[in-house]
Amino acid sequence: MLGSDKSRGYCLEMICADFLAGANLDNGNPEMLLFSMNRFFRFLPEEQKQAFLENVIEKVS
């Protein structure tokens, strides 16, 4: 693979961000964005899932 771990991680991050930004443009349906986020969440390791959930709860409270 070309590039360092950092550059590959950044590239993947940008691809995901572009995908998620475009997901909400699909007929203006925010449900598509929520569906995408739920699918990506499932790929996170348990520790990152917990950190994400704590962050969301903190923002909502």
DSSP, residue by residue, 9-60: HHHHHHHHHHHHHHHTTGGG-HHHHHHHHHHHHHTS-HHHHHHHHHHHHHHH
Segment 40-56 shows an average pLDDT of: 90
Residue with tokens 């572009």: 18
φ and ψ of 48, to 5 deg:
-75, -35
Domain boundaries, the chain: 5-60
Please report which confidence band the pLDDT of residue 46 belongs to, taking 50, 70 and 90 as the band edges: very high
Q: What is the pLDDT of residue 23?
A: 59
**In this model, does residue 28 exceed pLDDT 70?**
no
Please state whether the predicted TM-score (pTM) of the whole model is above 0.75: no
Angle at 45 between CA 44 and CA 47, to 5 degrees: 115
